[in-house]
Amino acid sequence: MISRLFQLFKKRSLGCPEVRALASDFMDGDLSKRVSSKIESHIELCAACAAFVRTMRATVQMLSAMPRSTLPPGFGERLSERLSGERGQ
């Protein structure tokens, strides 16, 4: 009985909460082929999850396209020099 339930659980397709929980791993390609194909087939049938993944993907792309705000080399030293100079005046 229990093993039968387990089989059922294994075979059933993914639900919306599972798809959304796995969405970021799915985009990173961190999931096994079996799981990601389950997600793909869910997305084909479920407009809400398709939109969720699309939005998430667009957000990730936007963030990775943004220039990284790193400080120029030596900036910290110049800043502290200036600060200590001003303090001495």
Residues in the site for Zn ion, rule: CB under 5 A?
16, 46, 49
Nearest to 23 by CA among 5, 42, 4: 42
Amino acid at 89: Q
CB of 11 to Zn ion, least distance (A): 18
Residue number with CB closer to Zn ion (35 or 46): 46
| H or E element at residue 33 | helix 33-45
- Min dist. Cβ of residue 71 to Zn ion (A): 43
Tokens in use for 68?
Answer: 């990284």
Query: Smallest distance, Å, CB 48 to Zn ion?
Result: 5
